[in-house]
């Protein structure tokens, strides 16, 4: 009961899942790892993404866990099955929940997916969507410029709007009715994406659906914690990069103070931080 929910991501994007967990599971303790030093994962080779993901899983497994959420879409697409084989707690990804959420809201069956190069190359979302409804019209688009935009913590300005406009332009001709934000970084700039796509396109974040699924799994295993809500200081945030940069974005997104620790996964990583 007192074990934590582990959440991992390539950077700050998984904080969208953390925020949902805080809202829906306030009694649970969260351990979060953001691999900001090696972000983004999208352009990296598949075997490298799997290796990085397993390194983080081993790090988080050094603490008592009751469940693990891979909040990174690229890592989910490429490493979920392997992680499930290596740990003895329930492991959730964000792809399947995101696909289910999109199908619930799509009125015309015209679904777009934006994500990193790795996620889009894997076709994970398209396969998940078509398994549920083979009739769907699905358009996928890699948007490699968006994760660096979020990780930089850059506020909305003309340059960021230009980057977004150019990234999303290929989707405009497809008459989509819904758009899956297939990277957990993207909800951090959802308002900008929504304005660019227009009011006729519903944005889908997998964070809410993933958390609902997490609640069901914890409940079925008798692992939901009873008692009062957790104090903010009970949650732990780890980053492979610079703690202050991570803390700035985390506190702005979560609307609370957070404790962030620098975590070293290898000697090579440590040499890159300085």
What is the distance between the alpha carbons of residues 184 and 74, in angstroms, rounded to a whole number?
A: 10
Q: Which residue has the tokens 């332009």?
A: 169
CA dihedral 45, 46, 48, 53 (to 10 degrees): 140
| Of 18, 65, 94, 183, catalytic | 183
The three-state secondary structure class of 137 is strand
Instruction: Give the H/E segment covering residue 202.
Output: strand 202-204
What is the distance between the alpha carbons of residues 188 and 193, in angstroms, rounded to a whole number?
A: 10
**For residues 70 and 8, is the Cβ–Cβ distance under 8 A?**
yes
Q: Is 137 left (phi over 0), alpha (psi -120 to 50) or beta?
A: beta
| Of 21, 72, 83, 250, catalytic | 72
183 is catalytic: yes
CA 83 and chain centroid, separation: 16
Helices (H), 65-123: 73-86, 95-105, 117-122
The three-state secondary structure class of 153 is coil
What Å distances lie between residue 150 and 3, 109, 143, 188, CA to CA?
31, 29, 12, 7
Tokens coding 253: 């997104």
Q: Report how far apart the first and last C-alpha atoms of the chain are (Å, whole number).
A: 39
Q: Which residues pair with 90 in a beta bridge?
A: none
Active site residues: 72, 183
């Amino acid at each position: 009961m007192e074990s934590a929910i582990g959440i991992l991501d390539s950077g700050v994007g998984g904080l969208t899942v953390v925020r949902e967990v805080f809202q829906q599971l306030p009694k649970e303790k969260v351990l979060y790892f953001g691999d900001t030093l090696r972000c983004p994962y999208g352009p990296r080779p598949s075997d490298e993404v799997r290796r990085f993901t397993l390194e983080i899983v081993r790090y988080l497994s050094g603490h008592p866990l009751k469940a693990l959420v891979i909040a990174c879409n690229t890592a989910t697409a490429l490493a979920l099955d392997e992680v499930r084989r290596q740990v003895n707690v329930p492991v959730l990804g964000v792809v399947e929940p995101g696909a289910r959420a999109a199908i619930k809201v799509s009125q015309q069956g015209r679904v777009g997916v934006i994500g990193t190069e790795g996620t889009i190359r894997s076709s994970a979302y398209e396969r998940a969507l078509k398994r549920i409804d083979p009739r769907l019209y699905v358009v996928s688009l890699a948007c490699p410029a968006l994760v660096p935009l979020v990780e930089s913590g850059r506020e909305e300005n003309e340059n960021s709007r230009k980057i977004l406009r150019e990234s999303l332009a290929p989707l405009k001709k497809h008459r989509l009715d819904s758009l899956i934000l297939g990277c957990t970084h993207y909800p951090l700039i959802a308002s900008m994406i929504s304005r660019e796509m227009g009011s006729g396109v519903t944005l889908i974040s997998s964070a809410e659906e993933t958390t609902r699924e997490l609640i069901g799994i914890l409940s079925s295993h008798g692992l939901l914690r009873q008692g009062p809500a957790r104090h903010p200081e009970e949650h732990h945030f780890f980053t492979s990069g610079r703690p202050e940069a991570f803390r700035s974005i985390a506190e702005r997104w979560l609307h609370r103070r957070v404790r962030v620790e620098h975590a070293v996964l290898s000697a090579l990583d440590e040499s890159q931080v300085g």
